[in-house]
Structure formats: C-alpha cells, structure tokens
Amino acid sequence: MSKLTHMDDEGNARMVDVGAKSPTQREAVAEGWIQLTPSAFDCLQAGDVPKGDVLQIAQIAGIQAAKKTSDLIPLCHPLPISGIKLVLETEAPNRVYVWARVRCDGKTGVEMEALTAVSGALLCVYDMLKAIDKNLIIGPIQLVEKSGGKSGDWKRQEP
C-alpha cells in the first residue's frame, strides 16, 4: 500500500501541500438518489410542496454545497471551480436522481466537490419533503468518473 498523503510521519493529519504542482484541467462526475414515499413523490410531481419548487431549490443547494466543500471537509483545499452542472430528475418508482459534474483548473481534483454537490442537493430534497413524509431514504451516492491530475482518468466499473 502506498504512503497515505493526509498523514505526516508521526501519524498526524495534514493538508497535502500542492504548492509545487502545476494546475491542470480537472473534472469529476458523481450521482445519487433519494427514494420517496408514494405520497411525497405525488406531491413533488404535482408541484404541491409547501416549501416551493423542490428540484430547482435543491439544484441551487447542490451548487452552493460544491462551492463550500473545503469548509465542510477539513483536509480539502479550496478550489477555483470553473463550472458546476447539476441535474435532478424524477424517476419511477418514486425517486429523485441527482447527477453533478464539477470542473476546475487546479492543483488537486474535484471529486469531493462533485460528491458534496450531490449530497447537498439530496439533503435539500429531504428537507423540503420531510413535512409530507419522513420515510425518505438517501443513497447510494457515488463517484462515477474523474479526469485530470497525476492519477489520470478513472471510471466506475460495474461488478
């Protein structure tokens, strides 16, 4: 196993020093789902949610979450994000699918930003629908692919 980069020689947590690295184009895609109850799904589909347009507000929440990743995850670097695309779609049976792509020209990857975007959007959907029904299930949330950087391109392989 290779040496863990977020630990020093004494085993203490540290933020990796990326100062000597050259910026490269980075991109990451993540996805996730929230399973709704039939009553919550029906209200969402009918636009009958007291808090407003669930999917639009969750889209904004996901974008904001990606931009705040380094505030939430202690060892993540703040990154100059150049683009975030977040898509929310209703799917049968009774769920919302979230997909996020995050890009930057940076010295470290944007995988955590993509995962945080999906997580933030899904949590927002939960928050907006919990008054209708709390029996909502979030997950799985997963990285789909990433490109750029020293480790190169990666794509999820289905078992």
Q: Which residues are catalytic?
A: 127
- Residue 136 burial (CB count, 10 A): 21
Cα–Cα distance for residue pair 32/85, rounded to 1 Å: 14
Cα–Cα distance for residue pair 105/118, rounded to 1 Å: 21
- Residue of 45, 27, 48, 23 lying closest to 36 (CA atoms): 45
**Partner residues linked to 104 by β-bridges:** 26, 81
Q: In the block, which residue shows the tokens 């505030």? A: 71
